[in-house]
Amino acid sequence: MKAIGITATDTEFGKTVVSSCLAAGFKYLGFDMGVFKPAASGCVRTAEGRLVSEDAELLIKGAGLTMAQHDDVVPYVLEAALAPAEASKLAGVKLEPAVMKKAAAKMINSHKLTVVEGVGGISAPLTDNYLVKDFFCDMKLPVIIVVKPLLGNVNHAVLSAYYAQHEGLKVLGFIVNGWDEENAGVLEHSNLYYYEKLTGLPVLGRLPVLNKELLTGPDMLEAGKIAAENIDLQRIYKLLGDGENE
């Protein structure tokens, strides 16, 4: 059983979209997929008063799971759109790393491959003393960094990769989210060049901007096909090796 951690150079860079599309892409190739997120902030309350993570919903759809598995995919749901460490304080909820790790291990051990989405960037605080990088390290997850072809993102990508490696994480490479091949110019192409040149890590895929309908429809079959065509899924799987999670 193998797993990949997904982080990004910043919040709102499309970790959930990339994670769900990765799950859908591998599922399109025939993999039995799991998905997981240790905690989710900015969750919405249903008419019945239950908090539901929209991130988890998209992850579930990508992997082909059911909403009955929502709590298995994300053990902690928080209403405030803040880092979990702060959102949990407002909610009066104590986040336990042991609970996150146990739930993650259960998901990983139940599927051939599991995509584990982090929260915010690699150093985002899950609790005051437990960061996303600590969770990835404890779970022995190799990570992929989501980037965008924007001015200044080369700096953030280099720093994120260096920090992750310094903390003992294996970084597989980058996935570019929101790639527009038709309109890509010097800025966008130079970003790809410098991501690789300055880190020694590969760009593993360029996920194009997806129509909203592909993410809001009843399934993500078409999104999975697009992911399989634009992300080197076989290379990612080979980079995982035997998988320390097994």
The set of catalytic residues is 37
Closest CA to 101 of 18, 39, 42: 39
Closest CA to 100 of 68, 123, 77: 77
Q: For residue 69, what are the contacts with CB-CB under 8 A and spacing of at least 6?
A: 60
DSSP line for 40-106 = B-S-EE-TTS-EE-HHHHHHHHHHT--GGGHHHH-S-B-SSSS-HHHHHHHHT----HHHHHHHHHH
160: its two tokens? 């994120």
